[in-house]
Amino acid sequence: GEDVEQSLFLSVREGDSSVINCTYTDSSSTYLYWYKQEPGAGLQLLTYIFSNMDMKQDQRLTVLLNKKDKHLSLRIADTQTGDSAIYFCAERSNDYKLSFGAGTTVTVRA
Amino acid sequence: NAGVTQTPKFQVLKTGQSMTLQCAQDMNHEYMSWYRQDPGMGLRLIHYSVGAGITDQGEVPNGYNVSRSTTEDFPLRLLSAAPSQTSVYFCASSPRLAADTQYFGPGTRLTVL
């Protein structure tokens, strides 16, 4: 199967920017996603990027895609305490299946 | 719309018991899927369906059965529960050809003793 890897933990000070990185292996990925999971809840789609794009910005969120290196990142500007959660990177192949990374636990400290 | 609903929220089983996790969506989505979430492993696809009457295996299908007799419902059956199936189970749905509308249910936390 496809491999999606991301670092497991990130600690950031409130007000700073957070950057969460992800690498994937499937070169046929059509879409790449970032999901947020708060404690005890399901996954919430934050943003996604089509594989022929380099960057997508949505308010405080910026997604960068380096297709050559198969590297995806999510930048959260002005990180707030409400941003504390687990963030999952996922890729979607041509047959619509999603492959997820293990998730990055983001802790925002005052 | 209620979105994607899952029942029960919590369940404890003994080894060897069988049960069905329910999943329903009221958005007329073609694509539905089941994932399990384990610590440090992200979500792994168990089974999926691209429409009523069509199901296929995902990454970790062993020990689970599914059926899709209607567009709305996609139940997951554990035939003979094992401790290795202790996990949080998520159901998801989407319109098949849409990239930006993936909806997840709230999850079912299953413990097998």
Q: Is the pLDDT of residue B78 over 90?
A: yes
Q: Please list the pLDDT of chain A residue by residue as tens digits (110 residues).
A: 458 999 899 999 999 999 999 999 887 778 899 999 998 888 898 999 988 899 999 999 999 999 999 999 999 999 999 999 999 999 887 777 788 999 999 999 98
pLDDT score at A78: 97
Q: Is the pLDDT of residue B87 over 70?
A: yes
* Chain A residues lying within 8 Å of B92, measured CB to CB: 43
Label residue B16 left, alpha or beta by phi (over 0 means left) and psi (-120 to 50 means alpha): left
pLDDT score at A1: 43
Specify the DSSP class assigned to residue A13: E
Could you report the per-residue pLDDT of A4-26, keeping only the tens digit for each?
A: 999 899 999 999 999 999 999 88
In sequence order, the 6+-apart residues with CB closer than 8 A to the CB of A80 are A14, A108
Could you report the per-residue pLDDT of B3-39, keeping only the tens digit for each?
A: 999 999 999 999 999 999 999 999 999 989 999 999 8
Least CB–CB distance from B107: residue in A1, A42, A96: A42
Put simply, whether B105 touches A (Cβ < 8 Å) is: yes
Q: Is the pLDDT of residue B112 over 90?
A: yes
Stated length of chain A? 110
* Chain A residues lying within 8 Å of B50, measured CB to CB: 96
pLDDT score at B18: 96
Indicate the average pLDDT of chain A: 91
Distances (CA, A) of B40 to A88, A109, B61: 11, 22, 19
Cα of first residue to Cα of last residue in chain A, in angstroms, is 40
pLDDT score at B97: 58
B43/A43 CB distance under 8 A: yes
* Chain A residues lying within 8 Å of B105, measured CB to CB: 42
Cα A93 to the center of its chain, rounded Å: 16
Indicate the average pLDDT of chain B: 92
Is residue A64 within 8 A of residue A22, CB to CB? The reply is no
